[in-house]
Amino acid sequence: MARPENRSAARALNLTLPEETFNYLALLATRGKLGRTENEVATHILVREAYAMLERGFHERKVVAADSTEPNTTAAKR
């Protein structure tokens, strides 16, 4: 499972998830995928995704200001 290299550097985080998401984490934990508990599975996924975002330079992406004269079509492009 993905964990910080130095466990003493770990910090606690409290999350509220949609019920469907929690249930899926429970399913993965029950099947022994990515961890033994919902918390371990969520930690694994979150750490893996954060490292991937860091590698891709996600934090360096620019967000273009929306043009107030045009309708918002961003959601349709996802």
Per-residue confidence in pLDDT tens, the chain, 78 aa: 455 566 668 899 999 999 999 999 999 999 998 999 999 999 999 999 999 999 999 889 887 888 776 666 555 554
Question: What pLDDT is stored for residue 53 in this prediction?
Answer: 92
- Write out the residue range of the structural domain in which residue 49 sits: 17-66
Q: Which amino acid is at 68?
A: S
Q: How far apart are the first and last CA of the chain?
A: 30
Question: What pLDDT is stored for residue 77 in this prediction?
Answer: 54
Question: What pLDDT is stored for residue 7 in this prediction?
Answer: 60
Q: What is the total count of domains within the chain?
A: 1
Rounded to two decimals, the pTM is: 0.67
CA–CA gap between residue 53 and residue 33 (Å, rounded): 22
Q: Are 25 and 38 in contact (CB under 8 A)?
A: yes
Residue 21 within a domain? yes
Residue 72 within a domain? no
Residue 77 within a domain? no
